Amino acid sequence: VERQEAKALRQRLLVVANRLPVSAVRKGEKAWSLEISAGGLVSALLGVKEFEARWIGWAGVNVPDEIGQKALTEALAEKRCIPVFLDEEIVHQYYNGYCNNILWPLFHYLGLPQEDRLATTRSFQSQFEAYEKANEMFADVVNKHYKEGDIVWCHDYHLMFLPKCLKKHNKKMKVGWFLHTPFPSSEIHRTLPSRSELLHSVLAADLVGFHTYDYARHFVSACTRILGLEGTPYGVEYQGKLTRVAAFPIGIDSERFIRALDLQGVQNHMNELQERFKGRKVMLGVDRLDMIKGIPQKILAFEKFLEENPSWRDKVVLLQIAVPTRTDVPEYQKLTSQVHEIVGRINGRFGELNTVPIHHLDRSLDFQALCALYAVTDVALVTSLRDGMNLVSYEFVACQEKKKGVLILSEFAGAAQSLGAGAILVNPWNITEVADAIKRALNMESSEREKRHKHNFLHVKSHTAQEWAGTFVSELNDTVIEAQLRTRQ
């Protein structure tokens, strides 16, 4: 009966993430143009029929005036989105500062900022305060729209403070939190000045989810070692209840990619690419231009490969799509110049008058062009230094049913745990190893390519984003019901 009641209540899901799945451009005092970004999370939630999702998040734009805010709120409502308005100063301190300059690098094992210790410590504190304040602003919007029985699913490192804010307001709220990045070893997490506050806050949730079992284990270790709490195989004992901790590996909407390959637009793109790179093997990298993606290391490995294998020089090309991201953060600006410098040097060194070995684009591609690129690729290079999961590897596999190309995959991406058997796994820091993997991939026999592809394709097809979202939400419901039953006993 309890479970049936829960099913009946399983109608509304409030998805809270830093960013709404729309890009908003202001066209006038009251006019906004909105474009839905069809990312993994959006299709995951659209695919789950048992509940109706509403999104709460920042629209990614500064809207200082009330008229603009009202108009944007109305426009977003049609897309089932609810905005949280953050002013420029908060965005600077919370998003650029605490989220992207402190938590993001730390969770990817790149450590805390190393500049002048005192200066960092002072700005660290104000950034942490802005982080708390921003999380409270998200909580206010959730509380305003929450109805009894709703499920509230908080996403990612931006909102680690949110579960506590929500539960403080309403103990009965069903709150889940999912981390899309790695959760690092507890020895890394303990260097963070606000390590305990964040752990306490996340533990206020009913269910805490990660992409891999290792991340979940690291989180439980951080709670036991730093907070002295009791860990169990199911989670952490916290304030008289069990906070469930588990792994929920995300996937993609694989059918969307597989179907796209039949579209005329995609076929046209494929023909153009095949013509353009005739007689050459195509190697591909698609990454946000982020230091965790290991783009300089990847390009240096490609250089080493060209250096050691002169006969391949006019037979291979590397297409690197580097999507600009977080461009207000100085680290990202430095990385952009560094990548440009390396690409320029290698093209100068190995290029000919009519061709260069690396085609580097600082922009994203539309969906059809991207699918075509995946489909004509012989070898994909996903060599992140650390990555929560990495869905580019999944998208590539989904588009390779005909070609059966090779995936070179970092052992430090969450995806290595699911696609490891079909990919060539590498340590992205080891440039010699990656250069050797490139050679091996380019020379691989078709029978081996087929075997490897089959393994990965079956995985990508059967572990979809929809299944991921459905599993998390039903586990959250069950966790809450079990906790209620336990307190009644």
- List residues binding ligand G6P (CB under 6 A): 18-19, 156, 180-181, 325-326
Taking the complex as a whole, how short is the minimal distance between the CB of residue 153 and ligand G6P, in angstroms? 13
Token pair belonging to 429: 């820091």
CA distances from 222 to 131, 160, 179, 234, 235 (A): 21, 15, 15, 15, 12
Cβ at position 458, least distance to ligand G6P in Å: 25
- Do residues 17 and 29 make contact, with C-beta atoms less than 8 angstroms apart? no
- Nearest-approach distance from CB 325 to ligand G6P, in angstroms: 5
CA angle (430 as vertex; 428, 434 as ends), nearest 5: 65
DSSP helix/strand/coil, 325:
coil
| Geometric angle at alpha carbon 244, from 239 and 246, rounded to 5° | 150
Query: What gap in Å lies between CA 437 and CA 305, rounded to an integer?
Result: 9
Q: Closer to ligand G6P at the Cβ: 132 or 156?
A: 156
Nearest approach, Cβ of residue 405 and ligand G6P (Å)? 24
- Least distance to ligand G6P, CB of residue 48, Å: 19
* Nearest by Cα to 382 from 396, 365, 366: 396
| Least spacing, CB of residue 349 vs ligand G6P, in Å | 33
> For the chain, what is the radius of gyration of the CA atoms?
23
Beta carbon nearer to ligand G6P, 137 or 435: 137
Nearer to ligand G6P by C-beta: 312 or 367?
Answer: 367
Find out whether 385 and 429 touch, Cβ atoms under 8 Å: yes
CA separation for the pair 76, 475 (Å, rounded): 29
State the sign of the Cα–Cα–Cα–Cα dihedral 56, 57, 63, 64: positive
Nearest residue (beta carbon) to ligand G6P: 180
Nearest residue (CB) to ligand G6P, 389 versus 431? 389
- Residues in contact with 368: Cβ distance below 8 Å, sequence separation at least 6, in sequence order: 260, 263, 265, 266, 269
Residue closer to ligand G6P by CB (options 18, 474) is 18
Contact of 270 with 375, CB cutoff 8 Å? yes
Classified as helix, coil or strand, 26 is strand
DSSP secondary structure letter of residue 21: S
Of 101 and 474, nearer to ligand G6P (C-beta) is 101
Least Å distance, CB 329 to ligand G6P, is 9
Decide: helix, strand or coil at residue 58. strand
CB of 156 to ligand G6P, least distance (A): 4
Minimal distance, residue 439 CB to ligand G6P, in Å: 31
Distance CA 342, CA 406 (A): 25
Task: Map residue 66 onto helix, strand or coil.
Answer: helix
